[in-house]
Structure 1
Amino acid sequence: MPYELDAVIGPFDLLRKATGQVREAVVAPLHRRLGLLPVTRPLLEELAAPPVRDGAGRRFTLLSPGLAQLVGRWSREAPVAYVEASFFGGDGYQTAAVWRSGGMAWGPAHTWDFSGPRHEWPINAALARLGVGVDGPPPTPYHDLFAEVGLARERENDGWLSAGREAAWAAGYDEWQAARLAERERRARAAAESERHRRLPDVPVPLDGRQVMEVLGLPPGPRGGAAVRHLQDLCIERGPLTPAEGVTALRAWAAEHDER
């Protein structure tokens, strides 16, 4: 599958603040408190920063002098990177540059050759200069900051634009992150609840589902499944139960869970 990326990467809250009045600007959240601003033609037109073209009129890069000036201005508060990538069928290139304290501090670096250590690839090298991975172990040949911050999540700028719009409700990175963690916890609880109701294969119980519902006075539904699963867990823990023991165990379980 093809992969295309033209973007400014920096602290999420910084990019949000810097582009707050820019109609075409959309900042998508990444990991490590970073944000990604997709660089699109409408954005460049609004910023009056058209892309550089070669003598034949072809686009050379979206990193125009006007955009570089803006990125430099944003970097007075924190390091900011501009990155480009284009891949198809395993072949492609990366370009990256980093600004700090108002000026370009590194790059532009460009390569078509990805046979060397990953931390030397342009985008990974730029991310390292933004502070990604500084608190981790020394890089290995396979350490990929590109994946660590989530740049593999989308494969083109349209995907990043959608991701940014989905996060537009959040006032800042902390609010977005809190909602993300809350949603992850909700899904984990839902998965645990579903697992608790799931009947285990090849574990017999002394009462079938109909008998369980009759004992507990339950209608068909997940609570009946949870009761059957409870009997299965008891059978695994104690060994086979008689029907009478199953009824006793169910009533004790129901009392504990306010079923009857």
Structure 2
Amino acid sequence: MLRDRVAGVSHGVVGVLRGGLAMVPVSDALFEELAGSWRGGPFFEQMPPAFDRALAGWSVHGPLAFVQASFHGGDGEQLAAVWRDGALAWGPVFDGGFDGPREQWPINAALAQLGLKQSGRAYSWNPDLPVDLFDEVGFGLERDMTDWLARARNGLVPPSLEALARERQRHDVERALARIRPDLDGRAIMTLLDIAPGPHVGAATRRLRELSLERGPLPRAEAEAELRAWAHEQGIG
């Protein structure tokens, strides 16, 4: 639907979000094309009439939302509005304090107006906090208009939340492994396995770190036995 609408404007490009959504980054050039030379008051107090008419026309073929976010040094603001069946149906809603529940923040609320629901997943950095709709659809992937335009023009598809969770878990494991001191140092590994310096020593060191992460520090004899068995399976030594 959006691709058909954007085909009629000069500065529009469609990007892909999660949840079956698409987006059109509203650059200054596109805003001017749709809204004209807007000289009214703050956007959240008065919707530019030409902009309202343009998005109302687009919404005849399906609901859509305009969302805007700006954050600087921890402070920020959001604006959102929803059009449906050729008319403004909700908003514009502005928030610069974010004192209420996250689901009531303008962009989350607008996405809910479009019919999206939270998946129930939690943030990796706070298992007690459900991922909000803003992040569910991928609005946290980029930080400014230049990046959003580049993402849309390059046809980039957001990674799934599951893929992101796996990647974060992998990074967490890598960081944990890097902090572990292996039960045998490189020289002891080379002597035990009768190998020369090289990638096999690094692989053996990683295996010892993995064992320590899984089972805690091992007695030297047990570490050597485990490493010999691993090396035999890998055809090393």
For the criterion TM > 0.5, the same-fold answer is yes
Question: What's the TM-score, normalizing by structure 2?
Answer: 0.65
Match for 1:26 among 4, 10, 13? 13
Please report how far the alpha carbon of residue 197 of structure 1 lies from its aligned counterpart in structure 2 after TM superposition.
7.6
Question: Superposed, which structure 2 residues align to 1:1-260 within 5 Å?
Answer: 14-20=1-7, 22=9, 24-45=11-32, 47=33, 49-54=35-40, 60=43, 64-86=48-70, 93-111=77-95, 114-133=98-117, 144-165=132-153, 168-170=154-156, 176-177=157-158, 200-201=180-181, 204-205=183-184, 208-213=185-190, 216=193, 218-230=195-207, 233=211, 239-241=219-221, 246=224, 250-260=227-237
What residue in structure 2 maps to residue 6 of structure 1?
none
Please report how far the alpha carbon of residue 127 of structure 1 lies from its aligned counterpart in structure 2 after TM superposition.
1.7
1:19 alignment partner AA: V
Tell me, yes or no, if the aligned pair for 1:44 and 1:51 is still in contact at 8 Å. Answer: no
Please report how far the alpha carbon of residue 228 of structure 1 lies from its aligned counterpart in structure 2 after TM superposition.
3.7
Tell me, yes or no, if the aligned pair for 1:79 and 1:101 is still in contact at 8 Å. Answer: yes
Tell me, yes or no, if the aligned pair for 2:67 and 2:107 is still in contact at 8 Å. Answer: yes
Question: What's the TM-score, normalizing by structure 1?
Answer: 0.61
CA distance, structure 2, for counterparts of residue 200 and residue 177 of structure 1? 34
CA deviation profile, 1:162-201 (whole Å, cap 9, x unmatched) = 3334xx235xxxxx25689668757866876x57985832
Please report how far the alpha carbon of residue 227 of structure 1 lies from its aligned counterpart in structure 2 after TM superposition.
1.9
Please report how far the alpha carbon of residue 239 of structure 1 lies from its aligned counterpart in structure 2 after TM superposition.
2.8
1:122 alignment partner AA: P
SS at match of 2:60: coil
What residue in structure 1 maps to residue 126 of structure 2?
none
SS at match of 1:75: helix
- Stretches of structure 1 that go unaligned for 5 or more consecutive residues are 1-13, 171-175
Tell me, yes or no, if the aligned pair for 2:14 and 2:23 is still in contact at 8 Å. Answer: yes
How many matched pairs?
A: 225
Give the % identical residues: 39
RMSD: 4.5
CA distance, structure 1, for counterparts of residue 61 and residue 17 of structure 2? 19
